Structure 1
Amino acid sequence: MTTAILKVENLTKTFGKTQALTDVTLTINPGEVFGFIGPNGAGKSTTIRILLGILKKTSGAVTLFGLDPFVNSSAIHKRLAYVPGDVYLWPNLTGGEIIDFLLHLNGNNHTAYTDELIRKFQLDPTKRARTYSKGNRQKVALIAAFSQNADFYIFDEPTSGLDPLNEQLFQEEVLNLKRAGKSVMLSSHILSEVEKMCDRIGIIRQGEVIETGTLAEMRHLTRTQMVVKTVHPLDILEERDGLYDLQLDALKTTASFSVDSEQIPVLMDRLAAADILSIQSNPPTLEDLFLRYYGDEVAPAKE
C-alpha cells in the first residue's frame, strides 16, 4: 500500500472568532499532481501555510513525510520546494544571486539545468531584484524551485504575473516533475492550468473541502452540452427529465441542450429513434464543475 506524502485529517483553523478552515481532509500520494482550487479567500493559502509550519493548526492532524510541519518544519523544508503567489526578493541582490542563495539554503547547487531554466524563462539574472516586475520575481522563485531535487513541490498561485508563454513553460516543468515521480500540490484559480496537469483535484469553499477526486470521477456531477440534428421531430425531448436549457428550431429537428451525465445512455436511445443526422457533444470541464459550487457567489474576504 502506498504511503501518502501528505495527509491532512479534519484540519481546523480559527483566527479569533473567524473560522478559516473546517475539517479539511485530503491526501497527496507519491508521484501525484494534486490541484487545490477555490477563489481567493476560500482557505487555500491558509492550508498551505499550515503545511509549511508557518501557522499552527487549531485542531486536526497534518503530516508531511510522516512529520508534523509545525514541530519538524526544518526537516520538512529540506525536502520540499515552495513558490508563493507573491514573491518578495532582496532588492539589492541580482536575480542570479538570489537563485543561488535559495538553492544553497536547501543544500542544492546551481547546475546546467538552472542555466537552461534561466534561458527558457528569459530571465536576466544580472539585474538587481528591485528592477524586476512581478512576473520576473515569480520567474526567480520558479527557477530556484525547479532546479531543486525536492520530494514535494508546493505552488500557491505560481503563475500570477506570468505571460501565456511562461505559463506554458511552467506547465511543462510540472509535467517533467510528474514524470520524474515527484509529488506536487498546485493551488490555483486558473482552471485550465489545473485541468491539464492534475491527477486529482480538491475543491475548497469557505474553508471546507467539498469535493475531492479525479476529474473523470467528478464529471458525473456536471452536465454535457449537446447539439443534435435528426430526420424526425424531437418532441420527446420536451418531456425528458434531466435535460436543461432545451432549444428547438421551428421544425423541432435541431436541438441544443445540456444533459445530466447519467441520463446520456437513455437519451441516446431516444435520439437514435429519431434518426440522427449529426451530433456534437462537449464534455463538462473543470470550470463547469467549479461553477456548480460557486456560481455567481461573491468570493469571501481575502485570507
Structure 2
Amino acid sequence: MEENVLEVSKLQKNFGKFKALKKITFEIKKGEVFGFIGPNGAGKSTTIRILLGILRASGGQAKIFGQDVWREAVGVHKKLAYVPGDVYLWPNLSGGEIIDLFLKLNQQKHTVKTDELIKQFELDPTKKARTYSKGNRQKVALIAAFSTDAAFYIFDEPTSGLDPLMEEVFQRNVLQLKQQGKSILLSSHILSEVEKMCDRIGIIRDGQIIETGTLAEMRHLTRTMITVVTKLPLGQVAQLPGVHHFKQELSAQNENRATFAVDSEQIGSVMAQLATYEIKTLQSTPPTLEDLFLRYYQKKEEDRHGE
C-alpha cells in the first residue's frame, strides 16, 4: 500500500456565516505530483493556509506525514518547502542574500545546486529586492524552495509573473523532484502546466472537491473535437447522441466537411455511424484538462439556471 504524505479528511473552514471549505477530502501519495485546480475564490488558497498552519480549520482534519498541521506545525514545517503566488521580500537585501536567508531558516545551506538554479532562472542575485519585478521575486522563492531538501513541496500559483521559458524551467525542476520520490501539491490556474506534470488532479469549486483522479480517469467527462470530410452529406450526424456544436460546410472540392464535439463515452458509436458516410479524412483532437474544467463550469451554470 502506498504511503500517504498528505491526508485531508472532511476539512471545513468558516469565516462567520460564509463556508469557505465544505468537508473536503483528498490525499497525496509519496512521490506524487497532485494538481489542485479551481476558479478564483474556490478555496485553493484557504486549503493551503490551513495545511501551513496559518489558518485553523473549523472542522475535519489535515495531516502531513501523520502530523496534525495545526497542533504540530513546527514539526510539519521541517519537512516542507512552500512558494506562494505573490512573494514579498526584504527590499534592502539582495536576491542572493534572501535566498541564503530562506535556506538558513530551513537549516539548509547554499550549495552548487543553488548556483545552478540561479543560472537556470536567469536571476541577478546581486540586485536589491526593491528593484525586482514580480517575476524576479517569484524566482527568488523558487530557487530557495528547489535548493531545499524537503520531503513535501507546496506551490500556490508559483509561476505567476514568469515568462514561458521560466515556466519550462519550473516544470523541469518539479519533474526532477518527482524522480527523487518527493511529493508535490501544485495549485495552479495554468491548466497546461497541471496537465504536463500532475499524476492526479483535484478540482475544487465553491469550497467543495467535485472530482479527484488521474487525467485518464477524467477523460470520460470531456469531449473530443472531430473534423471530418466525407463523400456523402452528414446531415444526420448532428442528431446523434453525444454530438455537440455541429458545424457543416461544403469545401472548395464540393466535399462534405464538418466539425463537432463528441462526448468521449459516445465516440465509438459516432465513429461507426461516420463510416457509413464514406470518410475521406478524419482528424480528432483529444480532450484537454481545460475542456474538463470548462465542462464542469458550464454544468454548474446549467444546473443553477435549471433550478
**Aligned counterparts of 1:128 and 1:227: Cα–Cα separation in 2:** 54
Residue 267 (structure 1) aligned with residue 266 (structure 2): no
**Does the CA-based 8 Å contact 2:155-2:187 persist in structure 1?**
yes
* Deviation sequence 1:39-81 (CA, Å, 0-9, x none): 2211100000000111110001111100101011111111100
Task: Give 1:125's aligned residue.
Answer: 125
Shift of 1:282: 0.7
Number of residue equivalences:
297
Shift of 1:201: 0.6
Task: Give 2:305's aligned residue.
Answer: none
**Does the CA-based 8 Å contact 1:234-1:252 persist in structure 2?**
no
* Deviation sequence 1:90-133 (CA, Å, 0-9, x none): 12211111111111111111100100100111111111212211
Task: Give 1:138's aligned residue.
Answer: 138
Q: Which amino acid aligns with 1:84?
A: P
**Aligned counterparts of 2:270 and 2:20: Cα–Cα separation in 1:** 43
Residue aligned with 2:12, SS:
strand
Task: Give 2:62's aligned residue.
Answer: 62
Task: Give 1:98's aligned residue.
Answer: 98
Query: What TM-score do you get using the length of structure 2 for normalisation?
Result: 0.93
* Deviation sequence 1:229-252 (CA, Å, 0-9, x none): 122222331331211111223578
Residue correspondence of structure 1 range 133-282 to structure 2 within 5 A: 133-250=133-250, 253-282=256-285
**Aligned counterparts of 1:238 and 1:197: Cα–Cα separation in 2:** 36
Task: Give 2:297's aligned residue.
Answer: 294
**Aligned counterparts of 2:79 and 2:270: Cα–Cα separation in 1:** 51
**Aligned counterparts of 1:275 and 1:183: Cα–Cα separation in 2:** 50
> Identity over aligned residues, as a percent?
64
**Does the CA-based 8 Å contact 2:6-2:65 persist in structure 1?**
yes
Off by >3 Å, runs of 4+ in structure 1? none
> Can you give the 5+ residue segments of structure 1 that lack an aligned partner in the other structure?
298-303
**Does the CA-based 8 Å contact 2:238-2:244 persist in structure 1?**
no
**Aligned counterparts of 2:241 and 2:155: Cα–Cα separation in 1:** 42
User: CA 1:59–1:236 in 2, change beyond 3 Å: closer, same or farther?
Assistant: same
For the aligned residue pairs, the C-alpha RMSD in angstroms reads 1.4
Task: Give 1:43's aligned residue.
Answer: 43
**Aligned counterparts of 2:66 and 2:159: Cα–Cα separation in 1:** 29
**Does the CA-based 8 Å contact 1:224-1:281 persist in structure 2?**
yes
Q: Which has the higher contact order (CA 8 A, sep 6+)?
A: 1
* Deviation sequence 1:172-193 (CA, Å, 0-9, x none): 1111111111100000111111
Task: Give 2:304's aligned residue.
Answer: none
**Aligned counterparts of 1:179 and 1:65: Cα–Cα separation in 2:** 19
Task: Give 1:300's aligned residue.
Answer: none
Q: Which amino acid aligns with 1:290?
A: F
**Aligned counterparts of 1:194 and 1:142: Cα–Cα separation in 2:** 17
Query: What TM-score do you get using the length of structure 1 for normalisation?
Result: 0.95
**Does the CA-based 8 Å contact 2:94-2:128 persist in structure 1?**
yes
**Does the CA-based 8 Å contact 2:231-2:255 persist in structure 1?**
no
After the TM superposition, which of the residue ranges 241-250 and 261-270 deviates more from structure 2?
A: 241-250
Residue aligned with 1:34, SS:
strand
User: CA 1:134–1:232 in 2, change beyond 3 Å: closer, same or farther?
Assistant: same
Task: Give 1:301's aligned residue.
Answer: none
**Does the CA-based 8 Å contact 1:235-1:252 persist in structure 2?**
no
After the TM superposition, which of the residue ranges 78-87 and 224-233 deviates more from structure 2?
A: 224-233
Residue aligned with 1:26, SS:
strand
